[in-house]
Amino acid sequence: MCLANSQLKSAVRAPPTWRKPVGDGAKRTRGLGATRARYRRPVASLRMAKKSVLTPQSEDFPQWYQDVMAKAELAENGPARGTMVIRPYGWALWEGMQAEVDRRIKDAGAQNAYFPLFIPESYLHKEAEHVEGFSPELAVVTHGGGKKLDEPLVVRPTSETVINAYFSKWLQSYRDLPLLINQWANVVRWELRPRLFLRTTEFLWQEGHTCHASEDDARDYALRILHDVYENFMVEVIGVPVVTGLKTANERFAGADQTWTCEAMMGDGKALQMGTSHLLGQNFAKVFDTQFLTETGEREYAWQTSWGVSTRMVGGLIMTHGDDAGLRVPPKLAPIQVVVLVVRDEDGAGDAAAALAKQLKAGGIRTELDNRDAPFGRRAVEWELKGVPVRLEIGPRDLAEGTATMVRRDKGEKESTPLDGLPTRIPQLLDEIQKALHQQAQQRQEDRTVDAATVDEAIDGARTGFARIKWDNGGELEKRLNQESVSVRCLRRQDGSVPLATDEPDLVAVVARAY
């Protein structure tokens, strides 16, 4: 955010509960695991065991995640608690996600627009459940231009309120419907326990907001976004299998009638909510007077939806595909799909590598040439950490054979491949890797999902993954699970389709521990 007036002094206050000093209970963690980064790496094919760069996942998954953040140069903490600096490689991942999601949003008919970061505090208070849900995590600006403001400004935690204020002006007739708007923006929620990408005080997302003529239209659209935009993107582009379903009342977005979700299983078996789509009903329309004239000339409140995915998906990607050697980025998303690595620039290896890289680029492959003057091993490890799907290593020995050593990141397999076959081989290989990563994640999710007959079984299943258990709408199940830090991720029908209400008969609850 850019302040035009450098003199501007603004104070951001959190609500009273959060303002109190935390005392001396909290201390900073130093580092991203360098002390732990001294493990033997089990690579049998290597002559000598090298120290591992990362804490093994099995040793300490959160620490592994932290290590990856630092070593793959993805992001680090900002100077203010809960803020995040996204480094170029991390940004490239997000940028790729944005592009693919944006295209799908536009295919679904929505247009991009932009609404303000600052929202009059009174707006938030108009919708009772909404304000109740968000007030604990609001950042509020009380001063600007050196003066106390007449009315405090809330830094948007989400934009239903401001957007509705304008929808109510723009929407006049049923002919204006559906009104389909999306914005890419940052939002702020005062988080108590931030984690890079997964839960930061400021994060980036897209938020879609729509108006429809009927509840059915709105519901259909919310579900279309859930499946055609979110689920499709997650499965097809980032290879993350998701479980779609309906949120319980307890887990529902504050102010919505219904919330649907895409839940993914991370490498440690925990669930991560990757995206949500809400049916808002007429809740916001009523308080912001978002009305239209029907064909018969009657005034009616608009039926609305909202939906979003955030930078959290970057964290989800990492924890879904990452392994002990670092990231594994699915080729369709990978900022760099192939790196051509000059092993030693002798006997023309450097020129051959440059020529190959050029050729691959011309063929539409996102290719990087690495001819840096640094030890080969260091460079190889760096690309491995960053999860580049394919490495092509060319040194004098390869060149003498007219081959390159082709290494696929997902399986770590090396193969000597004729140089002239690469332009046709690489696209096939990228495709194989894309499928393999998705397949592996899918397999893990299936292997670690159990059917539970009792609450205890469900809690047990949630220690290592997901559990499915019969949903008792209005019963004690959710409360008992919550007591064990297990949550209902979503509700599904027997056939796997998503329910429209939590009181449908014979629903199945998918439960897990969650991020």
Partner RNA sequence: CGGGGAGUGGCGCAGUGGUAGCGCACCUGCUUUGGGGGCAGGCGGUCGGGGGUUCAAAUCCCCCCUCCCCGACCA
What residues numbered 299-338 form the site for RNA, per CB under 7 A?
308-312, 325
- Applying CB under 7 A, the span of 49-57, 297-305, 426-434, 462-470 interacting with RNA comes to 49-57
| 387 class by beta-carbon count within 10 Å (0-12 exposed, 13-18 middle, 19+ buried) | buried
What residues between 71 and 100 interact with RNA by CB under 7 A? 71, 77, 80-82
What residues between 107 and 136 interact with RNA by CB under 7 A? 133, 136
Nearer to RNA, 191 or 300 (CB): 191
Nearer to RNA, 23 or 364 (CB): 23
Cα separation, 134 vs 104, whole angstroms: 29
Nearest distance from C-beta of residue 289 to RNA, angstroms: 25
Q: How many CB atoms lie within 10 A of CB 44?
A: 5
List 55, 168, 291, 405, residue binding RNA (CB under 7 A)? 405
Crossing angle of helices 422-447/312-321, nearest 10°?
90
Nearest distance from C-beta of residue 511 to RNA, angstroms: 14
The HSE-up count of residue 77 (CA atoms within 13 Å, CB side) is 13
Nearest distance from C-beta of residue 9 to RNA, angstroms: 18
Going 130 to 136 to 137 to 140, the CA torsion angle's sign is positive
Query: Quick one: tokens of 241?
Result: 């299998």
Q: What is the largest CA-CA distance in the chain?
A: 82
Which of these, 235, 263, 198, lies nearest to 437 by C-alpha position?
Answer: 235
What residues between 28 and 47 interact with RNA by CB under 7 A? 28-32, 34-35, 46-47
Query: Quick one: tokens of 93?
Result: 């991942």
List 53, 74, 246, 279, residue binding RNA (CB under 7 A)? 53
- Applying CB under 7 A, the span of 2-10, 99-107, 399-407, 435-443 interacting with RNA comes to 399-407
Cα separation, 116 vs 327, whole angstroms: 35
Which of these, 101, 89, 78, 43, lies nearest to 318 by C-alpha position?
Answer: 89
**What does R_g of the chain's alpha carbons equal in angstroms?**
25
Nearest distance from C-beta of residue 26 to RNA, angstroms: 2
**Vertex 330: Cα angle to 326 and 333 (nearest 5):** 115
Q: Does the protein bind RNA through residue 402 (CB under 7 A)?
A: no
Which of these, 365, 116, 330, lies nearest to 236 by C-alpha position?
Answer: 330
Nearest distance from C-beta of residue 175 to RNA, angstroms: 33
Query: Quick one: tokens of 197?
Result: 């990408």
User: Partners of 370 in the beta sheet?
Assistant: 341
Size of interface with RNA, in residues (CB under 7 A) = 83
What residues between 260 and 289 interact with RNA by CB under 7 A? 273-276
For RNA, what does the binding mask look like between residues 235 and 264, x meaning CB under 7 A? ------------------x-----------
For RNA, what does the binding mask look like between residues 407 and 446, x meaning CB under 7 A? x----x-x--------------------------------
List 73, 137, 215, 217, residue binding RNA (CB under 7 A)? 137
Q: Does the protein bind RNA through residue 50 (CB under 7 A)?
A: yes
Nearer to RNA, 82 or 178 (CB): 82
Q: How far is CA 400 from the centre of its chain?
A: 45
DSSP classification of residue 59: T
Q: Does the protein bind RNA through residue 14 (CB under 7 A)?
A: no
What residues between 173 and 232 interact with RNA by CB under 7 A? 189, 191-195, 198-201, 203, 205
Nearer to RNA, 373 or 495 (CB): 373
Per DSSP, the three-state class of 95 is helix
List 6, 27, 297, 479, residue binding RNA (CB under 7 A)? 27
